Amino acid sequence: MIENRNDNEVQYDEELLRQLLLDGNIEEFREHYLALHPYDQAQFYEKVGPDIRKIIFLFLSPQELALIFEALEIDNSEYEEYLKEMETSYAAEMLSVMDTDDAVDVLNELDEEHRDSFLEMMDSETVEEFHELLAYEEYTAGAIMTTEYVSILQNSTVRSAMNVLRNEAPNAETIYYVFVVDDQHRLTGVISLRDLIVSSEDTLIKDIMSDRVVYANVTADQEDVAQIFKDYDFLAVPVVDENNELVGIITVDDIIDVIDEEASDDYSKLAGISDVDDVNVNPFKAASKRLPWLIILLFLGMITATLMGQFEATLDKVAILALFIPLISGTSGNSGTQALAVAVRGIATGEIDGKNKLKLLFREISTGLITGIICALVVIGIIFFWKHSLIIGLLVGAAICCSIVVATIAGSFIPLLIHKMGIDPAVASGPFITTLNDITSILIYLGLASMLIGQLG
Q: pLDDT of 391-449, one tens digit each? A: 888 988 999 999 999 989 888 888 888 777 776 666 655 566 777 778 888 888 888 88
Report d(CA 299, CA 315) in Å as an integer: 23
Pick 344 or 165 by higher pLDDT.
Answer: 165
92 pLDDT above the threshold of 90: yes
| The predicted structure's pLDDT at residue 237 | 94
| The predicted structure's pLDDT at residue 266 | 61
Q: What's the pLDDT band for 9 if we cut at 50, 70, 90? A: very low
Task: Pick the range with the lowest mean pLDDT from 119-123, 336-340, 343-347.
Answer: 343-347
30 pLDDT above the threshold of 90: yes
344 pLDDT above the threshold of 80: no
User: Which residues make Cβ contacts (< 8 Å) with residue 447, sequence separation at least 6?
Assistant: 311
274 pLDDT above the threshold of 70: no
Report d(CA 89, CA 95) in Å as an integer: 10
Domain boundaries, the chain: 14-137, 151-252, 283-456
264 pLDDT above the threshold of 70: no
Q: What's the pLDDT band for 243 if we cut at 50, 70, 90? A: very high
Please say whether the structural domain 283-456 has been given the CATH code 3.30.565.10: no
| The predicted structure's pLDDT at residue 171 | 82
Query: 327 — phi, psi (to 5°)?
Result: -65, -45
| The predicted structure's pLDDT at residue 275 | 54
Task: Pick the range with the lowest mean pLDDT from 254-263, 306-315, 402-411.
Answer: 306-315
Burial (Cβ within 10 Å: 0-12, 13-18, ≥19) of residue 306: exposed
Report d(CA 254, CA 143) in Å as an integer: 11
| The predicted structure's pLDDT at residue 439 | 82
pTM over 0.85: no
Q: What's the pLDDT band for 90 if we cut at 50, 70, 90? A: very high
- What would the CATH number be for the domain defined by 151-252? 3.10.580.10
10 pLDDT above the threshold of 50: no
Q: How much of the chain, in percent, has pLDDT values that exceed 70?
A: 84
- What would the CATH number be for the domain defined by 14-137? 1.25.60.10
User: How many CB atoms are closer than 10 A to CB 27?
Assistant: 9
At how many degrees (to 10) do helices 26-33 and 50-59 cross? 100
Q: pLDDT of 174-229, one tens digit each? A: 888 899 999 999 999 999 989 999 999 999 999 999 999 999 999 999 988 988 99
76 pLDDT above the threshold of 80: no
367 pLDDT above the threshold of 60: yes
- Arithmetic mean of pLDDT over the chain: 84
Q: How much of the chain, in percent, has pLDDT values that exceed 90?
A: 40
